[in-house]
A and B are shown apart, each in its own frame.
Chain A
């Protein structure tokens, strides 16, 4: 019998005991069972993260010995240290173009994600604004093309895109990642959905006051849909931060690579010393986690706003 079994048996015993209490027990028992089941699900979800954090700080001599952490008595004799992080950040990768430190990849990822996210929010919200707040000939045709374009899987465009990037001379340039990622149809519809709700009278009175069309969009409409902007910011940031295929194909110079491509290399590079690439993975998932904790409320609302209306 393992501890796991005792915990499960205990939970079952408490449930039976609650059900046996006359009257009130019938109502408490299901609520209790709900919490137990959700706690099990949350525990199973979080365990790999806890394991990742523990592994990143474990010395390589005890890496295999304990699943999570060594006993507390061993914590301060060097079993837990920053050696994995030290080696990750100080060891150089000797590429043909010169030595590269790990911090370079972090900078690359932050630069790429921030650039693409900012440009994408601007362009997607502009197009969403046009669809939401103007009536013009061809609007329906454009909306139809947008919906149609969503039906094609992005993988279909991979081979032609490769040829195009090659002909544009964008190979090994960030332009190959930034320009095709500058706008998404999903984002356009997200902003359109939100901007339809902005009252026309507000825009009309700004127009009477002589505001330019762009100022009405930039200074009145966009601030009013801030929750959707926040949600879309996080969605786009996550997508670019985690993107692997495009940088893997279009970027060759080692010092220009973003984190996912590099960590995929590191599994092969540090075959047995996985404390090092686990420390790298931990560093790589911290920035999106921070952004998520800041924006989580808006994120969940934004994620489902398109689906619930349907």
Chain B
């Protein structure tokens, strides 16, 4: 009836309540599982709790405690080292593999992409269970493999030595996530203008110059996306070290303690949800600040 009139306004819009009907599940979800817990997390952070029943207002006490606790700084430094290593080691390898794949013929591309991506299907807990055995001194697959390759490491106690535990985590996460990041870089590379590259080559640019001045600027949006996603993911590391340490503590010298591990310990081993909420806010601020910083830095570089 009035369809033609509405149509001229641009969108099919008949029932004024129709969109709200489709949005109803989200609205309920957003109210109950986003807005309310967000406010609740704010309230909790200023209270000391003992399980879900008892609570006392403590002002900034929880934050004061967290910022004076050496365990927090241990968790922060472990997580930061892990995040930096993930970005500096994993992402260049992922980009390199994506570039190798991008130049391959299509059938090979599909097969290699599938194989290199496959660890991403396996949850961190399952990976942790596997690698708890793979890193066994003398018998483990990794120890034997490393020994065969460079003649070192057969007897190294990767999971018992506080100096080697974090490197072990970084190696495992390389195995898990390099294919995932590679997929994103590959998607970025496929949208690079091939004519520009050919033009550069005709002008006598070598492979490195072409990469630096043609390819890299064009995949920059996706590269920023991958860097930010990796940082956010790295700062939320928990399950992998948890399973690797067999659910008992955070390894020798707390070498596998992450920020979320620290949060979990306070919330669900100690039962102080207030401190856990405060740690949650600290984590949120860290992630938010780093993301903003990364966007700013990459934008600033753009102006040059």
Contact = CB atoms under 8 A, between A and B. Distances in A.
Report if A and B associate in a common complex: yes
A45 B115 contact: yes
Contacts of A182: 25, 29
B148 A2 contact: yes
B37 A164 contact: yes
A145 B30 contact: yes
Contacts of A49: 118
A215 to B, nearest CB: 12
A234 B129 CA distance: 23
A159 B267 contact: yes
Query: Interface residues of B toward A: which range?
Result: 35 or more
B88 interface: no
- Most-contacted residue by chain B among A41, A136, A265, A274 (CB, 10 A): A41
Contacts of B115: 42, 45-46
Given A47-B141, A264-B247, A242 B267 contact: no
Contacts of B287: 153
A51 interface: yes
Contact of B44 (A126, A146, A163, A308): A163
A308 B14 contact: no
Nearest to A142: B23
B221 interface: yes
- Most-contacted residue by chain A among B22, B246, B276, B284 (CB, 10 A): B22
A35 B15 CA distance: 58
Nearest to B3: A208
Interface string B128-141: 11111110000101
Contacts, number: 271
A245 B238 contact: yes
A158 B21 contact: no
Interface stretch (A19-27, A74-82, A87-95, A282-290): A282-290
B260 interface: yes
A59 to B, nearest CB: 15
A155 B265 CA distance: 13
A82 B11 CA distance: 62
B179 interface: yes
B141 A67 contact: yes
Interface in A141-164: 142, 145-146, 149, 151-164
A180 B23 contact: no
Interface string A292-306: 100010001001100
Contacts of A134: 11-13, 18-19, 22
A310 B221 contact: yes
Interface in A44-101: 44-49, 51-52, 55, 64, 67
A183 B183 CA distance: 25
A200 B123 contact: no
A129 B52 contact: no
Given A242-B126, A267-B246, A292-B121, A304 B183 contact: yes
Contacts of B21: 213-214
Given A35-B108, A64-B139, A278 B280 contact: no
A127 B23 contact: yes
Interface string B20-55: 111101100110111011101100100000001000
A184 B21 CA distance: 17
Nearest to B122: A285
Contact of A153 (B191, B239, B268, B284): B284
Interface stretch (B64-72, B99-107, B161-169): B99-107
A267 B33 contact: no
Interface string A1-13: 0111100000000
A127 B130 contact: no
A139 interface: yes
Interface residues of A, number: 96
B238 A126 contact: no
A48 B14 contact: no
Nearest to A234: B121
A127 B123 contact: no
Given A200-B12, A244-B124, A126 B25 contact: yes
Interface string A224-237: 00000000000000
A146 B276 CA distance: 25
- Most-contacted residue by chain B among A35, A146, A243, A245 (CB, 10 A): A245
A307 B225 contact: yes
Given A164-B36, A238-B121, A48 B130 contact: yes
Nearest to B245: A267
A42 B97 CA distance: 10
Contact of A136 (B16, B37, B52, B108): B16
A188 interface: yes
Contact of B125 (A47, A260, A300, A308): A260
27 contacts: A2-B148, A38-B108, A45-B116, A48-B130, A123-B25, A126-B23, A127-B23, A129-B22, A130-B22, A135-B11, A142-B23, A146-B30, A152-B284, A155-B238, A156-B41, A157-B34, A159-B280, A160-B277, A163-B52, A244-B125, A249-B268, A267-B243, A285-B121, A303-B183, A304-B187, A307-B187, A308-B187
Given A157-B33, A160-B37, 8 more contacts: A42-B115, A136-B13, A151-B291, A200-B11, A245-B239, A267-B243, A307-B226, A308-B187
Closest CB pairs A-B (n = 7): A242-B123, A160-B40, A130-B22, A304-B187, A134-B19, A156-B280, A160-B37
